[in-house]
Chain A
Amino acid sequence: MKHVKTLNTQTLTNTMKKGGCGECQTSCQSACKTSCTVGNQTCEQKK
């Protein structure tokens, strides 16, 4: 594509198939404690 550079190949829709194992970290246990930061957590299956 000449006009677009896409930064990621994975899509949220793809994660519907295998997601939901629940093994990932709880967001407030990482650093925040005062704000919700789900989007910057890492998927346990992709570690």
Chain B
Amino acid sequence: MIHQYQNNGYSIVLDVNSGAVHVVDELCYAAIAQLAAGEEPDLAALEKPETLEKLQAALGDRYESGQIREAWEDIKELTREGRLFTRDVFEPMIDQVKQRKTVVKALCLHIAHDCNLACKYCFAEEGEYHGRRALMSYEVGKKALDFLIASSGNRRNLEVDFFGGEPLMNWQVVKDLVAYGRQQEKLHDKHFRFTVTTNGVLLNDEIQEFINQEMDNVVLSLDGRREVNDAMRPFRNGKGSYDLIVPKFQKLADSRNQERYYVRGTFTRNNLDFSNDVLHFADLGFKQMSIEPVVGDESDPYAIREEDIPKICEEYDRLAKLMIEREREGEGFNFFHFMIDLEGGPCVSKRLSGCGSGTEYLAVTPWGDLYPCHQFVGREEFLMGNVDEGITHPEIADEFRGCSVYSKEKCRSCFAKFYCSGGCMANAYNFHGTIHEAYDIGCEMQRKRVECAIMMKAALADASDEA
């Protein structure tokens, strides 16, 4: 299975099943398109002299015969090496993946179901998650960490994200749980990677110091330009949060040497020109950033609609080109959704098993209930157990374990399937009422992002060749 596209002057061929990415010239691009029309050829078919004759007939009016032969030779060589027209050898592995024994390796601790902002798009409903305001107690948090250690098998690196609502509203418990985790990791030969996601309102020097000492990553919520941020992220009294938060985030990012953090925003249909918000982050001095499409009900006025997709794709194209320019000027920065590691990315086993929600990754409510992930919290049909009894509904874990790119019909023919691994199951459930579906608007954006990310690799490889 291949995917061909042209972007920013590059002709790109992605061989989906091997993950090989080829930048080709116009002739080779046309030849591959010709060969891939209908059923994709295998090596035996490619090597037949009549294949060359067909290419000569189709392309002879535009290209010299000798060049067409050269392109044909290149295509055969790539195919022989398993880098083009590769067959899917992974589907037979899927039963193994479904039946694999999983361990819990990550928890999203809802340390506070309360928030000091009133963001209009909040899937947590200002921190309350379809429920009541609550703070996690130290006791519940301790049991959660004990549950994680006990459920993690031989897995050494364990991840705990302090999430909310706003976790800084329950900061003493965060600090106490980190201390407890550090004590327990020595006893059990584990290593905790703590992270925190915060809106920054309560951030101060003391908290910053603790974060820098203990947190592997910190996610700083901010939407971009002042007017964009303040329209969606006001305080409960309606006042904007930008002016209070931005200087604190800048200071924190600098204090971490611009590493191991993300300033993370949400775009909605109110700011479809979100590339300007990304650039605004860069102009504020941030180097690690993410701006993601809003998740909301279709009836929400700010929700992304099908008709917004062309504009969003244009924005991703614009952003990719601007990022290449900035990189060449020595002012580069990372945009989370364009990060792609073509050499050292995840193994195929990871790509087949998806995000891990409901199996390797669970969310814990302030009162200790377990859900497949933070986005399912409060949906009672997904209540999996609690920190006292552990998993009491293993059938929910089984359902999530069985969800993969091969259980979703739409994913089978999608070129991006090994990059998103079937997409966000919460989004699928929100839009289709089942996790075995795909959120179509999200898929279109994902495909565009993968195309842009690969194009950027091509452009930057060009730049390094020139250097």
Contacts and interface: CB of A to CB of B under 8 A. Distances in A.
Nearest to A28: B355
A1 B343 CA distance: 20
Contacts of A15: 346-349
Contacts of A28: 108, 355-357, 361, 373-374
Given A7-B458, A22-B103, A28-B108, A39 B22 contact: no
B423 A5 contact: no
A43 B350 CA distance: 9
B179 to A, nearest CB: 21
A37 B114 CA distance: 27
Contacts of A7: 21-23, 342, 454, 457-458, 461
Contacts, number: 210
Contacts of B344: 10, 42-43, 46
A16 B86 CA distance: 15
Sorting the interface of chain A by its residue count into under 10, 10 to 19, 20 to 34 or 35 or more gives 35 or more
Contacts of B156: 23
Interface in B411-444: 418-425, 427, 442
Q: Report which residue of A8, A25, A39 has the largest number of chain B beta carbons within 10 angstroms of its beta carbon.
A: A39
Contacts of B347: 15-16, 18-20, 43
A27 to B, nearest CB: 5
Interface in B379-429: 418-425, 427
Given A28-B373, A29-B159, A38 B264 contact: no
B452 to A, nearest CB: 12
Nearest to A41: B346
Contacts of A25: 106, 157, 159, 193
Given A8-B21, A43-B346, A35 B427 contact: yes
A42 B345 contact: yes
Given A4-B74, A8-B21, A19-B350, A39 B360 contact: no
A6 B20 contact: yes
Given A22-B155, A26-B361, A29-B159, A35 B20 contact: no
B82 interface: yes
A13 B352 CA distance: 12
Contacts of B157: 23, 25, 44
A25 B292 CA distance: 20
A17 to B, nearest CB: 9
Contact of B421 (A9, A16, A32, A36): A36
A18 B232 CA distance: 45
A4 B461 CA distance: 13
Nearest to B373: A28
Nearest to B264: A31
Interface residues of B, number: 88
Contacts of B197: 33
B20 A27 contact: no
B177 interface: no
Given A5-B461, A40-B341, A35 B25 contact: no
Contact of B355 (A4, A18, A26): A26
B446 interface: yes
B195 interface: yes
Interface stretch (B51-59, B272-280, B332-340): B332-340
Contacts of B340: 39-40
Contact of B346 (A11, A24, A34): A24
B18 A40 contact: no
Contacts of A42: 341, 344-346
A4 B78 contact: yes
15 contacts: A1-B78, A3-B24, A3-B67, A11-B83, A15-B347, A19-B346, A23-B155, A26-B355, A27-B356, A32-B292, A34-B266, A35-B424, A36-B420, A39-B345, A40-B345
Given A29-B106, A34-B292, 5 more contacts: A6-B22, A8-B20, A26-B159, A29-B217, A33-B264
Interface of B: 17-25, 27-28, 67, 70-71, 74, 77-78, 82-83, 86, 89-90, 93, 103, 105-106, 108, 123, 155-157, 159, 161, 163, 193, 195, 197, 217, 219, 262, 264, 266, 290, 292-295, 336-337, 339-351, 354-357, 360-361, 373-375, 418-425, 427, 442, 446, 450, 453-454, 457-458, 461
Interface of A: 1-13, 15-16, 18-20, 22-44, 46
